Amino acid sequence: MKYGTIKWDAKSNQLLSTVCRNCPDPHFQRRSEELPHIGCCAYEPVFTLFEIYKMIAAGETDFFMEQLYRNPRNTIYEYEIVAGAFIHPLFYSRGPGESESPAERYERLRQSPHTAYQAVDERLAYAVCQFFVDGKGCGLNPHFKTSICRSFICDAVEERLSEEERKQLSARQRMIRDEAEPFHRKYRAIFQEKGWTLGDNIEEIMVYLQELNQQKAE
C-alpha cells in the first residue's frame, strides 16, 4: 500500500518514506557540514520486551546478547535497553568564539527539568544510531526495529499528505503501537511480579520468552 511519499511495508509492519535519505525536516538538519545528514537516524532506539521477544523467537539469541545486551555502549534498564548512539567528536569541541562546547551545553541544560528536553536534542544533534548504514539507512533487521522506528514519520513528510492519507497514516501508526505496547506492558507486569529484571535475570527472562514462543507455535 502506498500513499503520497510513504510506503507501507506489510511484511515487516513498518512505514517507509521515499524522501528520508534527503530529510526535509528542519528539526533534523545537522549543525555542521562535517556531520552526516541522516535525518531521524540521529537517535538512540529503545528496545522493549516486544523487540527482545521477536529476536529470541527468531532464533537470534546471539545477536540479542552481543549487539544489545553486552554492548558497552548500551544502557540496560529493568525492562528496556537503550542502544547508545555514536557521538561525533564535534560534540566535545568548542567552535570559534563559543564559550562552551555542545557537551558542556548539554550538561548545563540537563540540570533543570525545564530544559532537560533541550539537552536531549543537543546531544542527538551530534548522534548517529549504531544501526545506521551509510548509503542504506537502517541496517537492523526490520522485524527487530522498535515500534517508534517502524512508525515515525516527520512533520515535513506528513505535511505533504492529503487529509485521507493522514488518516491512513494514523491508522498504520496505531496498529504498530497496538502490536508492541500491550505486549510490553503485559510481560513487564509478569516479570515485576516474579521479581525479574533484564539486569539481574536475563537467563530466566530468555527461557520464559523461548517457552512463550513455543506455546504460540503449538
- The answer on pLDDT for 1 being more than 60 is no
The backbone torsions φ and ψ at residue 132, rounded to the nearest 5 degrees and listed phi first, read -75, 135
pLDDT of residue 19: 87
* pLDDT tens digits along 68-83: 999 999 999 999 999 9
Among 105, 173, 130, which residue's Cα sits nearest to residue 44? 130
pTM above 0.85, yes or no: yes
Amino acid letter for position 17: S
Contacts for 7-10: CB closer than 8 Å, 24+ residues apart: 8/172, 9/142
Please tell me the distance from the alpha carbon of residue 95 to that of residue 33, in angstroms, as a whole number: 13
Is residue 87 exposed (0-12), middle (13-18) or buried (19+ Cβ within 10 Å)?
Answer: middle
Q: 168 near 7, Cβ under 8 Å?
A: no
Beta-bridge mates of residue 9: 14
On whether the CB atoms of residues 122 and 109 are closer than 8 A, the answer is yes
Mean pLDDT of all residues in 37-43: 92
Q: What span, in angstroms and rounded, lies between the C-alpha atoms of 211 and 205?
A: 10
- Give the mean pLDDT of 157-177: 94
- Rounded CA gap, 218 and 214, in Å? 6
Q: Which residue has the cell 505535511?
A: 159
**For residue 2, pLDDT beyond 60:** no
Q: What does the block give as the cell for 118?
A: 533541550
